[in-house]
Copies of this chain bind each other. A is one copy, B any other.
Amino acid sequence: MSTPSENSATLAKRLIDSGLRPTAQREVVFKVILEKRDHPTADEIFARVKSQMPTISLATVYNCLETLVQCQLIRQVNLERAPTRYCPNLHQHAHFHDETTGQIHDIDLPIELMAQLHDVLPAGFNASSIELTFRGDAAGTAQPTVAADCAPTLTSPHGTN
């Protein structure tokens, strides 16, 4: 499941459904984010995309990212005030920010924990989203973990493929 061409098709469908066009720029930005699931910044994405499409501009990368976020194909991850990072993992998950390596790891959240989180809110507080970030050290997590933790998401979140 989720071969490059399937992802591309999903992207096209999602865009068209929103009245937007599946352009080469949007495709390559999306592809680059799926390729290496390491929570890249806009600058990093720009660099990776430029190697395949040297004429693309940074503004376009920002535009595409915004579009992809709006179409719910990727998510923004903000840690402190560092540059925004982008993540194709759409599952409910937390982030672990390794302070020594700078790496970001996705952490799966059990559904029952989500329920408990909602329960700490006093009456009248209605949360539409929850953001959970851990900061610390990840022992023996030299490189792999990110790709391992981050499931290959994106295959018909609503069964519409």
Contact = CB atoms under 8 A, between A and B. Distances in A.
Interface of A: 78, 80-81, 84, 94, 96, 99, 105, 107-110, 113, 116-117, 120-122, 124-141
B138 A126 contact: yes
Q: How many copies does the complex hold?
A: 2
A107 B127 CA distance: 12
B126 A137 contact: yes
B105 A110 contact: no
Ranked nearest first, the 6 interchain pairs of A and B with the lowest CB-CB distance are A127-B134, A127-B136, A128-B136, A124-B139, A131-B133, A129-B135
Nearest to A108: B120
A149 to B, nearest CB: 8
20 contacts: A78-B78, A96-B125, A105-B125, A107-B120, A107-B121, A107-B122, A107-B125, A113-B116, A113-B117, A113-B120, A121-B134, A124-B138, A124-B139, A126-B139, A127-B134, A128-B137, A129-B134, A130-B132, A131-B131, A131-B134
A43 to B, nearest CB: 15
A139 B121 CA distance: 12
Contacts of A126: 136-139
A103 to B, nearest CB: 11
Contacts of A94: 120
A81 to B, nearest CB: 6
